[in-house]
Amino acid sequence: MEKIIKSDQVWRKLLNPEQYRVARKKGTEPPFTGAYWNTKAAGVYKCACCGLPLFDSEHKFDSGTGWPSFWQAIDEKNVHTQRDESDDKIRTEVLCTRCAAHLGHLFNDGPAPTALRYCMNSAALKLVEIEAGAE
């Protein structure tokens, strides 16, 4: 996959302040505040920075955490994970493979069949809704 690399200055121009803070500076939005934490619309969640398809609404579930949560990615190649030791915690950070945007964190407390919970920030995602009846 071809990587997208842009300067910090370019990302600041392309993204709104919250998207920039979360996706480029590894921020976290407060729980129950993001645009998609409670969204039930059908569609594909893409990276807010580069548009790479990341998650399908069919894999979204209510984790009760206040962040949009998914039990699997559209394609494992589209997300990259790495160890995150920030905030005095050890977690697994999830990033967009193409542009390295910080998306959120991965936990092993999700539902079957994967037992995974991709706990994402709404600010790092863009939902492209599928119209009812469309395939």
Cα–Cα distances in angstroms (integers) from residue 22 to residues 27, 96, 114, 121, in the given order = 4, 13, 26, 7
Answer yes or no: 50 catalytic: no
Annotate 6-24 with b (16+ C-beta within 10 A) or e (fewer): eeeeebeeebeebbbbbbb
Nearest 5°: CA angle at 87, between 89 and 77?
70
Which is catalytic among the residues 47, 96, 99, 119? 119
Residues designated as active site: 119
